[in-house]
Amino acid sequence: MSHLRELQLRFQDYLLGRSETIEGDIVSSADARAEHRLGAYYNAYRIRLIDCLAVDYSALAKLLGRERFEELALAYLAAHPSDHPSVRWVGRHLPAFLDAEYDGDDAGFLAELAAWEWAQSLVFDAADSARLVELDAIAALPAAAWPDLSFRFKPAMRWLDLYWNVPPIEHALDRDEPPPEAVRDEHPTRWLLWRRDFNTHWRSLEVHEAWALEQAEAGADFAAICEGLLEWIDAGQVALIAAGLLKQWIGDGLLVSLDRTKP
Give per-residue pLDDT as tens, 163-182: 999 999 999 999 999 999 99
What stretch(es) of the chain map to CATH 3.90.930? Answer: 128-165+188-263
Q: What is the pTM of this model?
A: 0.84
> Which amino acid is it at 177?
E
Instruction: Give the confidence band of 51 by pLDDT, cuts at 50, 70, 90.
Output: very high
Instruction: Give the confidence band of 83 by pLDDT, cuts at 50, 70, 90.
Output: confident
Model confidence at 27: pLDDT above 80: no
Instruction: Give the confidence band of 197 by pLDDT, cuts at 50, 70, 90.
Output: confident
Instruction: Give the confidence band of 38 by pLDDT, cuts at 50, 70, 90.
Output: low
Model confidence at 41: pLDDT above 70: no
Q: What is the mean pLDDT of residues 244-263?
A: 90
Model confidence at 230: pLDDT above 70: yes
Neighbours of 142 (CB within 10 A): 6
Instruction: Measure Cα distances from 50 to 113, 134, 198, 261 in Å.
Output: 17, 43, 26, 48
Cβ(254)–Cβ(157) below 8 Å: yes
Cβ(248)–Cβ(175) below 8 Å: no
Q: How much is the pLDDT for 5?
A: 62
What digits encode the pLDDT tens for the residues 12-25?
555 555 556 555 55
Neighbours of 46 (CB within 10 A): 18
Q: What is the CATH number of domain 128-165+188-263?
A: 3.90.930
CB within 8 Å of 212: residues ≥ 6 apart: 225, 228, 229, 242, 245
CB within 8 Å of 96: residues ≥ 6 apart: 111
